[in-house]
Amino acid sequence: MSILINRGVSRIQKWNRCNSLLKAATGYLERVKKLKLQVGREGITGYVAKTGKTYYSPDVTKDKRYIVGVKSVRSEVAIPLKIENKTIGVLDVESKEYDGFSEWEIKLLTSIAAQLAIAIEKSRLFEKTKLLSLTDPLTELPNRRHFDIIIDAELKRSARYNRPLSLLLIDFDNFKKYNDDFGHIAGDKVLKGYAGIMKSAIREVDFICRYGGDEFIVVLPETDETFARAVAQRIITNVNKGSKKFTITLSIGVSTYPLDGEDKNELVHAADKACYIAKSNTRPFSWG
């Protein structure tokens, strides 16, 4: 986005039913940043919020919809931020040049807007989940209920955009025996310690939860089978390096959408089956 922003000014507007709320802006005076626009009634962004369609004004001085914010602005493009055909905001970029945006630049901004919409929606979902009891108290990781919400949303997105998604099912080997030998307090320390190590081995966009007992699941968006195997190997490597005082090993099963299943249950089953194979072969991980 900075390529275009450096030539002008930009802002991101988030909408409720009636008015806009500015979420981010660059190049505007403070008084302009505080403006509230009525959806569908005021300005180019208001029009885009109502229609859900991209609007390009090559000469705002001749555009009745334009509301003057920065006097030097000559052209403006506004692109809806959409989730499942619902407009949740508007990306608005203005230029000091007449006809300041090429067709290629508008396509680039459209791609950026799509990514912004996903980021905003993920933030909204995160805030929503905080209101619920979705955290495992021991490991401080999300719990199974949280997993159900995230995997459903990610599968819908993968299906909509025809993108891969992978799951890792992680199981502690002989954990029951460890609990019997050393006690549940020691077992809890292992779970908490390993949880932190595993979380540090994945990307920020990935999702890890305590699925139940000594089982954990990692959701890997935009990840095919090959990269998922690499992530599994990285988790094993990090655990081996960071847990020398523990004698427990891990088995990891890998499954990938849509190769191993097209819904949550199929993917979890495939990953569980692969994890069982890993245990049977005394290998650190396997995949379905």
Better pLDDT: 124 or 10: 124
* pLDDT band (50, 70, 90) for residue 31: very low
287 token code pair: 């995949």
Is 214 annotated in the active site? yes
Name the pairing type of β-strands 55-57 and 20-26.
Answer: unpaired
User: Taking a C-beta distance cutoff of 8 angstroms, is the pair 250, 178 a contact?
Assistant: no
Residue 157 belongs to what domain range? 132-287
Across the range 223-234, mean pLDDT stands at 95
> Domain of 196: which CATH number?
3.30.70.270
- Is 90 exceeded by the pLDDT of residue 35? no
**Are 48 and 149 members of one domain?**
no
Q: Do residues 51 and 106 both lie within one domain? A: yes
65 and 205 both lie in a single domain: no
Q: How confident is the model at residue 284 (pLDDT cuts 50, 70, 90)?
A: low
Residue with tokens 């020691």: 186
Q: What pLDDT does residue 68 have?
A: 76
* Position 131 pLDDT exceeds 70: no
Q: Domains in the chain: how many in total?
A: 2
Q: What is the pLDDT of residue 245?
A: 63
The residue from 58, 93, 128 where one domain ends is: 128
CATH number of the domain at 63, please. 3.30.450.40
Check whether residue 120 and residue 136 sit in a common domain. Answer: no
Question: 251 with 114, same domain?
Answer: no
Q: Tell me if 254 sits within 8 A of 168, measured CB to CB.
A: yes
Co-location of 112 and 157 in the same domain: no
Average pLDDT in the 115-138 region? 83
Specify whether 151 is located in the same domain as 55: no
| Average pLDDT in the chain | 84
Among candidate residues 136, 214, 260, 272, the one labeled active-site is 214
